[in-house]
Chains A and B, each alone.
Chain A
Amino acid sequence: MALKPLPPVDTDKRRIFAGILLLSLVLSFLDARASFGPLNLARQGMETLLSPLVTGTSSIAKPVGDFFEDWSQVGSKDEIIKELRVENAELIAQIQAAPDALRRVAELDQLLQTAGLGEFRIVLARSISAGSSSGYGSTILIDAGTVDGIEVNMSVMAGYGLVGRVIEVTKNTALVVLISDSTSTVGARVAENGKIGFLSGRGNNQDMLLEFVDPTAKVSVGDRLVSYGVAGGIFASGIPLGIVKSVKAAGGNSSLTADVQPFVDLRNLDLVGVIVSKPRTDPRDKLLPTPTVIPTVTVTVTATPEVITPTPSATISNEAP
C-alpha cells in the first residue's frame, strides 16, 4: 500500500507571515534604541496623525470615563475621607492641647528651677482633684503615694511657692492640705526685714493672715514672705509663701497684722512637687520671685503753636453804598 503524499506546504505564505514578525521585531528593536532617525520621524508623524483622534475621543468619552472613574474609586474615596477625618480630629486635638501643654511645660520648668535653686529633692505629681476632705476645707489629691516615697507631713510646693503639706498617703495617692486652709499655720519670715510671724489660712481661698511674734514688728505692703522652719517643724525653710497686700493694726494695740496673697494660685493647681528631702542649708531668700517693677509713666506735654491758615471769606465793608 502506497503512502498518500502530504499536501504541499505553501512556503510563500509562511514567508509573508515570517516577514511580518521579523519586521515587527526589527521595528521594536530600533525603536527601543531610539537612535534610528527615520523611525523616530515615522513615529512622530503617526502620533501627530493619531493625536486628534485621541483628543476627540477623550472629549467625547470624558463624561463616561469620569463616571466610571468615580464609580471605581467610591470605596477608596470613602477610605480617604475616613482617614482625613481621623487626621483632622487628631490635628484639632493637638491644636486644642497645645496651650495646655505649653502651660504645663512652663509650670514644670518653674517648679524644677525653684526646687533646683533651693536644693530640694522633689517628687513630681499632678493634682487629681480638689475640695474638702478628711475634715479639711481646702485639700487636693495628688497622684503620687508611698510607692513614690511620699510620707505624711512632707511639704508640697508648686512653681512659685509653698502649696501645703501631706496629711494622708495611700499607695498611689496622697492628700494635701493647702496653706490656705483655716487649720493651717506656717512659720513665716519677712524677706525685707527678717521679722518672724505666723501665716494662717482663712479657708475659702481668702487671703492669709500674718501675725507677728514681736508686737513691734513692722511690715509694708509688697513685702514678701518665705517659710521659716524650726527644728522638728513640718515645713521646709526658705519656700516662698506670698506677698503682703494690706497692713492693719491688731485690736487696739500697736502690733500689726497683714493680709497676704499666696504666690501660688491655690485654686488652680496642676503640677506640684513633694519635697522628699530638705536641703542642708536654708536657702533663705533666693527662691523668692523677683518683685514686679511697675514702670512709672511720665507724660510730657509740649505745646505746639497752632498755625492758622487764612482762608478767603466775605469782606465786610463799613463804607456806605
Chain B
Amino acid sequence: MKLARSFFLLFVLATAAAVEVALLGPIGLPGATPPLVMILVLSASIRRTPNRAALVGFVAGIIVDAMPSSVTPLGVSAFAFALMAYVISNIRDLMIGSVGLPLIAAAVTGGLVPLVQQFQMSLIGADFSRSEPLLVVLITSALYAVMLSTIVLPALAWLEERFSPRNSSFVR
C-alpha cells in the first residue's frame, strides 16, 4: 500500500511536470512559468518529515530537470526543491491548520527557488540565460505560486482526506 502511494505521488508529480511544460509554459504569461510542481512539493512537505520531504523535493526536481524541454541540468531543480521542502517541513507545525502561512510560504519559496537555481547554475558554470530579467522572474514566480496555492493546496488536502481519511497524508 505504501509503495502504491509512492507510485501515485510519482505519477502526480510527473503529470504536474507535464502540465507545467505542455500547458502552463506555452501560455506565454509574462515572467516565470507558474510553478505547479513546486506547489505540489510544498503541499507534500507540510505533511512529511524533513527527510521525506527533501526526498520528495529531490524526486520532483529530477522529474522537472529530466523533462524533454528542460533547459536546466539534471539536479538543479532537485537541489532547490529538496532544500525548500526540507525547510518547509521543519516549520510544518506552524502551517498545519493555518490559511495564511502556506500562502506566505508559497510566495517566499516561489521567489527563492528561481534564485537558488540561478545561483547553482552559476556555481556549476552552466550556460543559462533567461529571456526575462531575474527580478521579473522572481516576482512573477512568487505571484503565480500564491495564485496556484489558493487552488492546489485545498485540492490536495481534499485528495488526502479522500484517499487517507485516518491519516492526513496519502504518502508517508
Contacts and interface: CB of A to CB of B under 8 A. Distances in A.
Given A24-B82, A31-B73, 15 more contacts: A13-B51, A17-B86, A27-B73, A28-B120, A28-B124, A28-B126, A31-B74, A32-B124, A32-B125, A42-B74, A50-B67, A54-B68, A58-B22, A65-B22, A69-B27
Contacts of A43: 66, 74
Contacts of A20: 51, 54-55, 58, 82
A57 B82 contact: no
B14 A53 contact: yes
Contacts, number: 115
Interface of B is mostly: helix
Interface of A: 13, 16-17, 20-21, 23-29, 31-32, 39, 42-43, 46-47, 50-51, 53-58, 61, 64-65, 68-69, 72-73
Interface string B80-96: 00110010000000000
A159 to B, nearest CB: 58
A9 to B, nearest CB: 13
Nearest to A55: B22
For the complex of A and B, 7 pairs with smallest distance between CB atoms? A27-B75, A28-B75, A24-B79, A58-B22, A31-B73, A46-B66, A61-B23
A31 B61 CA distance: 14
Contacts of B44: none
Nearest to A71: B27
Contact of B63 (A23, A25, A50, A61): A50
B117 to A, nearest CB: 10
Best-surrounded residue of A28, A39, A64, A73 (most CB of chain B within 10 A): A28
A266 to B, nearest CB: 64
A43 B83 CA distance: 22
